[in-house]
Amino acid sequence: MHGIRLGLVITMVATAAVNAQELTIDAAVDAALLNNPEVAAAREHAAAADKRLDVGKSYRLPKIGLSESFVYTNNPAEVFAFSLNQGRFDMEDFFLSDPNNPDPLSTFITRLDLELPIYTGGRLSARIGQAEAMATAEEITFSHTRERVSFETITAYINLAKAREHQALLEKARATTAEHVRLAEKYAAQGVILDADVLQARVYLSEMDDLLTQATNGAQLGQAALNFQMGANQALPRMLAPLPPAAPVVGKLDNWMAAAIEDRRDLAAARRKLEAGRLEEKVARPGYIPEIAVLGHYDLYDDKIFGAHGHSGSVMAVARITLLGGGSDTAARAAARHETASFEADIHRFEEGVRLEVQQAWQDLQTARSRHTTAASSLNAAEEAARVRESRFTHGLDKMIDLLDAETAQREAEMREMVARYDVALNTHRLRYVSGATLIPDLG
> pLDDT per residue over 148-169, tens digit each?
999 999 999 999 998 998 888 8
Q: Model confidence at 2, in pLDDT bands (50, 70, 90)?
A: very low
Residue 267 predicted with pLDDT over 70? yes
174 versus 409: the higher-pLDDT residue is 174
Q: Which domain holds residue 203?
A: 2-35+120-287+325-443
Residues 6+ apart with CB under 8 A from 266: 140, 141, 144
* The predicted structure's pLDDT at residue 18: 42
Q: Going edge to edge, which strands form the sheet with 310-320?
A: 63-73, 105-119, 291-302, 310-320
Please report whether residue 108 resides in a domain.
no
Percent of the chain residues topping a pLDDT of 70: 89
Under the banding of pLDDT at 50, 70 and 90, the label for residue 394 is confident
Determine what percent of the chain is predicted with pLDDT higher than 90: 44
Burial 150-177 (b: 16+ CB within 10 A, else e): bbbbbbbbbbbbbbbbbbebbeebbebb
Position 150 in a domain: yes
Name the more confident of 13 and 401: 401
Confidence of residue 69 (pLDDT cuts 50, 70, 90): very high
User: What are the backbone dihedrals phi and psi of residue 338, each rounded to the nearest 5 degrees, phi first?
Assistant: -65, -40
Q: From its phi and psi, is residue 148 left (phi > 0), alpha (psi between -120 and 50) or beta?
A: alpha
In a domain, 304, yes or no: no
The answer to whether residue 314 is domain-embedded is no
User: Does 29 map to a domain?
Assistant: yes
Domain-embedded: residue 344? yes
Which residue has better confidence, 37 or 286? 37
Q: So what's the pLDDT on residue 24?
A: 92
Task: Output the average pLDDT for the chain.
Answer: 84
412: domain CATH number is 1.20.1600.10
CA–CA separation, 206 and 204 (whole Å):
5
Over the stretch 180-231, which tens digit does the pLDDT of each residue have? 777 777 767 777 667 777 787 788 788 878 988 998 999 999 999 999 999 9
Q: What is the DSSP string of 129-191?
A: HHHHHHHHHHHHHHHHHHHHHHHHHHHHHHHHHHHHHHHHHHHHHHHHHHHHHHHHHHHHHTT
Mean pLDDT to the nearest integer, 312-332: 83
Does residue 4 register a pLDDT over 50?
A: no
Between 99 and 316, the more confident residue is: 316
Report yes or no on 194 lying in a domain.
yes
> What number is the average pLDDT over the span 376-386?
74
Strands (DSSP E) contained in 342-423 are none
pLDDT of residue 333: 82
pLDDT of residue 440: 55
What pLDDT band is residue 397 in, cutting at 50, 70 and 90? low
Mean pLDDT lowest among 60-74, 144-158, 163-177: 163-177
pLDDT value of position 403: 67
**Long-range contacts of the stretch 438-441 (C-beta < 8 A, 24+):** 439/29, 439/147, 439/150, 439/151, 439/154, 440/25, 440/26, 440/29, 440/150, 440/154, 441/247
What is the sign, positive or negative, of the torsion defined by CA atoms of 85, 87, 92, 93?
A: negative
What is the C-alpha to C-alpha distance for residues 150 and 123, in angstroms, rounded to an integer? 40
Spatial separation of the C-alpha atoms in residues 350 and 358, rounded to whole Å? 12
**pLDDT value at 441 more than 70:** no
- In which band, very low, low, confident or very high, does the pLDDT at 328 lie, cut at 50, 70 and 90? confident
pLDDT digits 0-9 by tens, 271-285: 999 998 888 888 776
Between 372 and 70, residue with greater pLDDT: 70
2-16, 68-82, 367-381: the lowest-pLDDT one: 2-16
The dihedral through the CA atoms of 114, 120, 125, 131 has a sign that is: negative
For residue 203, the one-letter residue type is: V
Domain count, the chain: 1
Distance of CA 172 to the CA centre of its chain: 40
Instruction: Flag whether pLDDT at 7 surpasses 60.
Output: no
User: How far, in Å, are 59, 151, 196, 281, 322 from residue 326 at the CA level?
Assistant: 28, 53, 94, 18, 10
| Confidence check: pLDDT of 139 > 90 | yes
pLDDT band at 16 (very low <50, low <70, confident <90, very high): very low
Q: Report the SS3 class of residue 313.
A: strand
404 neighbors 201 (Cβ within 8 angstroms): yes
Per-residue pLDDT, averaged over 321-346, amounts to: 83
Establish if 76 belongs to a structural domain: no
Q: What is the DSSP letter of 441?
A: G
Give whole-number Cα distances, 112 to 115, 117, 152, 298, 299, in Å.
10, 17, 57, 5, 6
